[in-house]
Amino acid sequence: MFQSMLPPDEPMQPEQAHPSMVYVKEKLKWEYKQVARDLTKDNLPGDDELNKLGADGWEMTGIAQNPPLIYYYFKRLID
C-alpha cells in the first residue's frame, strides 16, 4: 500500500518552470502589408487569395474591424 511522505495538511508546491533562453544574433527586418475590405462592396479574401499571400511569404498577424471596413495585417521577412 502506498503512503504519502508529506504531512496531510501541507500543500504540494508546484515545480518551478525554467524557460529556455533564445539568443538572436541578427536583428530581423520585416515589411508589412495591410489589406482593407469594405464589406458593403467587397467579398472577404478567399482561400486562393490567402494562399497566394502565404506563398509570397506573407504571414497574417492580425485583423481589425471598423464596420463596414475590415483590415487584415500581414508581415514577412526582408532578405
Among all chains, which residue has been given the C-alpha cell 526582408?
78
Cell reading at 22:
533564445
Does 25 reside within a domain?
no
Does 22 reside within a domain?
no
pLDDT at 79: 82
pLDDT at 62: 97
pLDDT at 22: 82
Does 5 reside within a domain?
no
d(CA 1, CA 4): 10
- Report pTM: 0.66
pLDDT at 70: 97
Are the C-beta atoms of residues 39 and 70 closer than 8 Å to each other? yes
**pLDDT average, residue stretch 10-38:** 85
| Domains of the chain: total | 1
Q: State the CB neighbour count (10 A cutoff) for residue 24.
A: 6
Q: Which domain holds residue 70?
A: 43-77
